Amino acid sequence: MANILLGATGSVAAVRVPALFEALVAAGHAVKVVATDAATYFFDPASLGEHLVRDADEWPGREAGHRYERGDTVLHIELRKWADAFVIAPLDANTLAKLAVGLCDNCLTCVWRAWDLARPVVLAPAMNTLMWQHPFTRRHLKAIAADAGAAHIPMHLNDQQLIAQMNDRSKTLRIVSPISKTLACGDVGVGGLAEVADIVTAVGEILDKVKG
């Protein structure tokens, strides 16, 4: 099938990263996971074994005094070369903001900044309802969509219409809408991570769309 780089960020929904990893593998994909340090608070890194990449892996031996030497691999570039698609699920509000403005202060966001824009991306946001409803969220999604070829989308659309337009107008971007549920914090509303099966389906659809 495809080489999938699964990005995991510091939303509580990162508890579902191992299940999403297994579902992508079951769908026939080769999968590596690049996780922010915050994300690994919500799942056991050992559960992903050698498939997991963390920030510290960018600088092997640093604590022992090792320094970069010419010819050493640059991990975020190697991950970008390996991956056919970049899936960030869950995508928290903090990382969404970083992606939108090009900040790259960890391995995951460095992969994003170095990403080949001709390759597909799937984003599955997950955050508190008021964070999702904050005006910055729409601005950031629109900025990302514009870079992916989905420009000039009107702001008056509701959330579902907005995301549908972004997905329809971009060949390489697929946003999987968050769902309404009782969130981990106890609030009830939109912001929960989409179902694992729906994310896996979105990955297959965007891969087919790019091939077509």
> Which amino acids are annotated catalytic?
185
14 Rama class: left (phi>0) / alpha (psi -120 to 50) / beta: alpha
Rounded (5°) CA angle 63-79-19: 95
How crowded is residue 94: how many other Cβ atoms within 10 Å of its Cβ?
16
Supply the DSSP string of 100-139, one letter for each residue: HHT---SHHHHHHHT--TTS-EEEEE---HHHHHSHHHHH
Can you say whether residue 65 is alpha, beta or left, with left for phi > 0 and alpha for psi between -120 and 50 degrees? left
Angle value at C-alpha 125, between 119 and 131, nearest 5 degrees: 140
Half-sphere exposure of 4 (CA within 13 A, CB side): 29
Identity of the amino acid at 185: C
Tell me which residue has tokens 């514009």.
146
* Tokens standing for residue 180: 């309404």
